[in-house]
Amino acid sequence: MTGNNEVAKPFTAEGIGGITLRGDEWGHGTNQAALLLHGGGQNRQAWNKTARKLAGAGYFVVGYDARGHGDSDWAPGGEYGTEIMARDLLLLLERFTAPPILVGASMGGMSALAAQGMMTHQLYAALVLVDVTPRLEPLGVRRIIDFMTAHPDGFASLEEAADEIAAYNPHRERSSSLDGLKKVLRQRDGRWYWQWDPAFISGGERAVDHDTREEHMDQMAEDLMKAAATLSVPTLLVRGAQSDVVSEASVKEFLGAVPHADYVDVSDTGHMLAGDDNDAFTSAVLSFLGEANM
């Protein structure tokens, strides 16, 4: 892997079952690597500002679209569970000559913990979890699912999509430009659709009623908490102060399992905190990495 600070260099990698994963890299391949994993329904474009800042600070930064997201392949049969996402990550980690710093938002953080739980050695040089803990708030998760499934027939315009996003994320200042939406939406037959496979949210472990989903979440929380408890590398949990997905109680539980972890609560941000206040988020990550001498 090689690259430079200014321009993202695209690459492809293979996931489980031959799925093609597409990503970008910034910075110089000989530097400490930082691997960025986006959340569900997002893609690697969500990390552009952070990636450039980290590369400018001297890191070799890599981000990729998870299966079924962005430019990566859609999975046959709607295989999008946490376990297979984690196995994709394990394959991608083989590309690095030394453990990278892992920054995982929401789904990306869950994949990182699940992958660690599958191995007996430490996979990462450091771990940053972005508004995700093993135990998530069911109402917050339900609100995300409702948002992601609300418009199966797409949007008539970018303005209509912007209205939906503003309603979901009312505390974020609305951009005067709609160009950024083209990073998460694709136009097809005159309508705009989210840039992810609908089966990601309508199939597999998510295609269940609310009660069954909560039972599944409880079991996953136990599994991911066991994985978290094995962490011995520098760890940072960054929470959006207005998040309805990660509660103060779940933060306390996580810090009990990972007592050496640092914790930052970013004011005026929600679950999508890296987009809500990228400067504050990236500063928190860089400060943490500096204190960890990375």
Residue pLDDT, tens place only, 136-183:
999 999 899 899 989 999 999 999 999 999 998 887 778 778 988 998
CATH number for the domain whose boundaries are 9-137+198-291: 3.40.50.1820
Does position 206 have pLDDT exceeding 60, yes or no? no
Residue pLDDT, tens place only, 210-250:
667 778 889 999 999 999 999 999 999 999 999 999 999 99
**What is residue 254's predicted lDDT score, i.e. its pLDDT?**
98
> Exposure string (b/e) for 218-229, b if CB count within 10 Å is 16 or more?
eebbebbbebbe
Q: Is the pTM of this model over 0.85?
A: yes
Residues 177-193 have a mean pLDDT of 91
Across the chain, what does the average pLDDT equal?
92
- Cα–Cα distance between 41 and 194 in angstroms, integer? 8
Does position 203 have pLDDT exceeding 80, yes or no? no
Residues 98-115 have a mean pLDDT of 98
**What is residue 210's predicted lDDT score, i.e. its pLDDT?**
63
Every domain of the chain and the residues it spans: 9-137+198-291
Confidence of residue 2 (pLDDT cuts 50, 70, 90): very low
Residue pLDDT, tens place only, 111-124:
999 999 999 999 99
Does position 129 have pLDDT exceeding 50, yes or no? yes
Using CA atoms, how far residue 161 sits from 46, 151, 173, 262, in Å, is 17, 9, 15, 36
Residue pLDDT, tens place only, 31-55:
999 999 999 999 999 999 999 999 9
